[in-house]
Amino acid sequence: MFWVNKAHAGNTFMPPQASNFAESVDTLYGFLYYSSLISCILVIGGLVYFAFKYKRKTASDKTAYIPHNALLEFLWSFIPFVIFLVVFAWGWKIFYDMRSAPKDALEIHVVGQKWNWDFVYKSGRKTSSEFTIPINTPIKLIMGSRDVLHSFFVPSFRVKQDVIPGRYTSLWFTATKEGNFNVFCTEYCGTGHSTMLAKVKVVSKAAYESWLENNPYKGLTLSEVGQKVYAGRCIACHNVTNVKKIGPGFAGLWGSERKLTDGSTVVADEAYIRESILNPNAKKSVGYEEAVMTSFQGQVSEEELTGVIEYLKTLK
Ligand SMILES: [Cu+2]
C-alpha cells in the first residue's frame, strides 16, 4: 500500500521485511500511523483555528447561544468508531493468521534459559545461539523456558512470542529473504538479558538439507558424542586413564565415592557429574581444592552433556 515504501523498508527505521507476515504488519502499522497523524492534525488544527477565529475582540464580546448539532455529534463519534472496528477486524485477521500454523510446518523446538537460546531439530540436531532454516518454508517454533519468562522476537519477521516456564508456546512464520537475522529476548529476564541474543540463518532449501546432513554427531551413540566432546573440551585437563592430570583421570570415576573437602562423601552419579560440569565448584573433591575448572554452563548442549556422562560410564 501507498504508505509502505517497500524499496526503503531496509533503509528507514524499520528492519527489512523478511517473512510472510512482515508486509501485512507494516501495512496495518502504517494505517494506524497515518490515521493517527490525520486525526491529530484535525483536532489540534481545529483547536488552533477556532482559538483565533472566536477570540474575544472587545470587552463586551459575548458568545452567541450555540444549539447542539445532532448530525455533527453523531459523525464525530461514528466515524472514529468505524475506524476502530476496521483496525480491530484487520488486526484480528493478521493475529488469526499468525496463530494458525500450517499443519505441514517444519517444527523446531526452542528452549530459552538465562541467558541463551537452544534449538533442537526433529533429526536430533541441536544448536545454541543460532539456528538455520530453509527459505519459503513454513517454520513452527515450539518454545519453552528452563527458568524465567523470556520472549522470542525476530524484528525482521515481525513475530514475537513469550516463552514461559511450565508450558509450551509456539510461533510460526515463513522466511522470505535469505540472510542472517537477529533474535532478541524481549522480556526482561535478569542481568544478562541484553546479551540473550541469537541468529536465525535463512538459507536455500538445498543448503538447508546439506547443513542438516552435516551434523557432526549424526549417527553417533550418546557415548560416542561424549567421546568427541571429551577430545575437544576435556582432554586438556582430564586423562581417560585413572591418572590425575589437572583434574582427576576419568577411568573408574563413574560410580566411585568422592571424598569432598567438607569431609562428606558423594557417589559420582549422573547428577554429580552434571553438576561438576555446569558448576564445578559446588562440590570440591579432596586433592582438587584449587578449583581451577570453569563452568561449562551455556557452552555445551544437553546432548553433549549427557554424552559426556554416558562416555564416563564406559571408562572403567
Ligand atoms: Cu530472556
87 pLDDT higher than 80: yes
Copy the grid coordinates of residue 313. Answer: 560410564
**Can you give the pLDDT at residue 12?**
59
Tell me the pLDDT of the chain averaged across its residues. Answer: 89
The segment(s) of the chain belonging to CATH 1.10.287 are 6-51+68-99
Give Cβ neighbours of residue 235 (< 8 Å, ≥ 6 apart): none
Distance 165 CA to ligand 1 centre (A): 11
Distance 192 CA to ligand 1 centre (A): 8
The segment(s) of the chain belonging to CATH 2.60.40.420 are 106-213
Grid-cell match 483555528, residue found: 49
Distance 127 CA to ligand 1 centre (A): 17
**Can you give the pLDDT at residue 228?**
87
Out of 3.30.300, 3.30.70, 2.40.128, 1.10.287, select the CATH number for domain 6-51+68-99: 1.10.287
Q: How confident is the model at residue 140 (pLDDT cuts 50, 70, 90)?
A: very high
Distance 198 CA to ligand 1 centre (A): 11
Q: How confident is the model at residue 287 (pLDDT cuts 50, 70, 90)?
A: confident
User: Cα(97)–Cα(264) distance, rounded to whole angstroms?
Assistant: 58
Q: How confident is the model at residue 82 (pLDDT cuts 50, 70, 90)?
A: very high
Distance 194 CA to ligand 1 centre (A): 8
The Cα diameter of the chain in Å comes to 107
Distance 288 CA to ligand 1 centre (A): 35
Spell out the CATH class of 106-213: mainly beta
User: Cα(193)–Cα(88) distance, rounded to whole angstroms?
Assistant: 33
Copy the grid coordinates of residue 125. Answer: 540436531
Q: Strand, coil or helix: what is 50? A: helix
Distance 98 CA to ligand 1 centre (A): 22
For residues 215 and 315, the model is more confident at 315
Q: How confident is the model at residue 10 (pLDDT cuts 50, 70, 90)?
A: very low
Q: What is the pTM of this model?
A: 0.66
- pLDDT one-digit tens code per residue, 183-227: 999 999 988 899 899 999 999 999 999 888 877 787 788 898 899
- pLDDT one-digit tens code per residue, 55-73: 888 888 888 888 899 999 9
**Can you give the pLDDT at residue 187?**
94
Distance 96 CA to ligand 1 centre (A): 26
Q: Where are the alpha helices (DSSP H) in the chain?
A: 22-53, 70-99, 205-213, 222-229, 270-278, 302-314
26 pLDDT higher than 70: yes
230 pLDDT higher than 80: yes
Spell out the CATH class of 222-314: mainly alpha
Distance 162 CA to ligand 1 centre (A): 10
Contacts by residues 98-104 (CB-CB < 8 Å, ≥ 24 positions apart): 98/21, 98/159, 98/172, 101/138, 101/140, 101/170, 101/172, 102/138, 102/172, 104/138
Stated length of the chain: 316
Distance 157 CA to ligand 1 centre (A): 19
- pLDDT one-digit tens code per residue, 234-280: 888 899 999 998 899 999 999 999 999 888 999 999 999 999 998 88
Task: List the helix and strand counts (H, then E) for the chain.
Answer: 6, 12
Copy the grid coordinates of residue 55. Answer: 477570540
The segment(s) of the chain belonging to CATH 1.10.760.10 are 222-314
Distance 201 CA to ligand 1 centre (A): 20
User: Cα(312)–Cα(290) distance, rounded to whole angstroms?
Assistant: 23
Distance 183 CA to ligand 1 centre (A): 11
User: Cα(68)–Cα(72) distance, rounded to whole angstroms?
Assistant: 9
178 pLDDT higher than 70: yes
Distance 197 CA to ligand 1 centre (A): 9
